[in-house]
Structures are given as structure tokens and as C-alpha cells.
Amino acid sequence: MIRNIIFDLAGVLLNLNLERDTQALLSVGLPDFDGCIADREIHGPISLYLNGLSDKPTFLKAIRPFCFPEATDEEILASMDAVLDDIPSSRLAALVEMRKHYKVFLLSNLYDTAWDLTQKLIRNEGYTVEQCFDEAFISYKMQLAKPNPLIYQQVFEATGIQPGETIYFDDSHDNIEAAKKLGILSCLVPMNEIETCKEYQQLIETCSR
């Protein structure tokens, strides 16, 4: 029996804008989205920063050799934020409704600026984080990032919920596989399209009965 729901944020609840992100990356001299992932020297510092495992000065020092000399620190940092788009009000309303029937948690690899922006987006839609989630687990606060199994274990230790009673939604194959190994029912979400997941729709239908 499912008693708990864990959601990833970016690409699941929060839409990503890859086109705008690519334009921003190119404007500071970095490759496009796929190019940044493919280049290990670039992907390493970006991943650490976006997961909240390195601070801004450390990230800027590591990434600047790959950027245009004239690119400012502010422009480089802004290029990291450009991928973050919007959170549809319908998803937030669904979270509030789900909390009447389940415990609902957020587990996200996220840096501090992105979390601040997320909270603002939620407020702009007329909700609060506390209305939407029983608790939010953010990598930069925990200094752990998915798919490290320790981050999932910390969630279960902190909340007392059980893996076998929990369903988890994420758009990362690696994160999903890591969760499955811990006994969590895990659903891979097509980026920005959680509404197409039958498990998500089943939860919504259950809540509407």
C-alpha cells in the first residue's frame, strides 16, 4: 500500500527550458546543454554547483577557463539559472490534494539560488512550500546528491517512512535505479511531462474519490 510520495523537482514539477538554457550557455562561451553534459571537464564543476555541492566562488574559478574572457561572473551564474522555467498551478494544486491522503515529500538535487527561485514561483501561484510538501529535502542543505544511496536513506531516517510504502517520481534514470535498489517503487518521468505517467494519474484519481 502506498502511503508516501516523493517528487523530484526540476523536470518533474518544475519545467525546464532547454532552448533558453542553451542560448544562455552559448552566450558566455560554454557548449549547449548536451555539450556541457558530454564534456567531463565542464560537466564536473557544473554538476557540483547545480547539486549545491560547491559554492559560487569555487564554481566560477573552475568554469571560467571554458567561458569567454569578457563574460562576467553574474552572466555565468545567470546561465546556470536559465534552464529553470515555471511550475504549473495544476501541479501545485495536485500536491495540496495529495497531502490529504498521503505524506508528500520533495527530494531534489538543487543549489541555493534555484531553491530560492522555486519558492518564489510557488508563492507566485498562491501556495507555500509548507502547503505542498510535508518536508523538502534539498541537496545543498544536506551536502549529498542523488543518486548517492545515502541521500535516500537520510530521507527515510528523518521521516520514519518505509521504502516499500513509497512511490518516487524522477526524470533521471540513474536516480530511479538507485531508488529501486533500496526497495522504493520508482517511476521515470519524461522531462516536463509528469502528467503522462499512469502512476501519477492513478494517485490523482485516488485523491478525487
Residue 107 contacts residue 8 (beta carbons within 8 Å): yes
For the whole model, what pTM was predicted? Answer: 0.96
Q: Write the pLDDT tens digit of every residue in 176-188.
A: 999 999 999 999 9
Q: Write the pLDDT tens digit of every residue in 74-96.
A: 999 999 999 999 999 999 999 99
At residue 6, what are phi and psi to the nearest 5 degrees? -120, 130
pLDDT of residue 17: 97
pLDDT > 70: percent of the chain: 100
Q: Write the pLDDT tens digit of every residue in 162-207.
A: 999 999 999 999 999 999 999 999 999 999 999 999 999 999 999 9
- The Cα–Cα gap between 204 and 202 comes to 5
Kindly tell me if the per-residue pLDDT of 160 is higher than 90: yes
State the Cα torsion 175-176-178-179 to the nearest 10°: 120
Q: Write the pLDDT tens digit of every residue in 2-35.
A: 999 999 999 999 999 999 999 999 999 999 989 9
Q: How many CB atoms lie within 10 A of CB 190?
A: 12
At residue 70, what are phi and psi to the nearest 5 degrees? -85, -10
Residue ranges and CATH numbers for the domains of the chain are 4-16+84-208 (3.40.50.1000), 18-81 (no CATH)
pLDDT of residue 209: 79
> Nearest Cα to 6, choosing from 181, 174, 161?
161
pLDDT of residue 80: 97
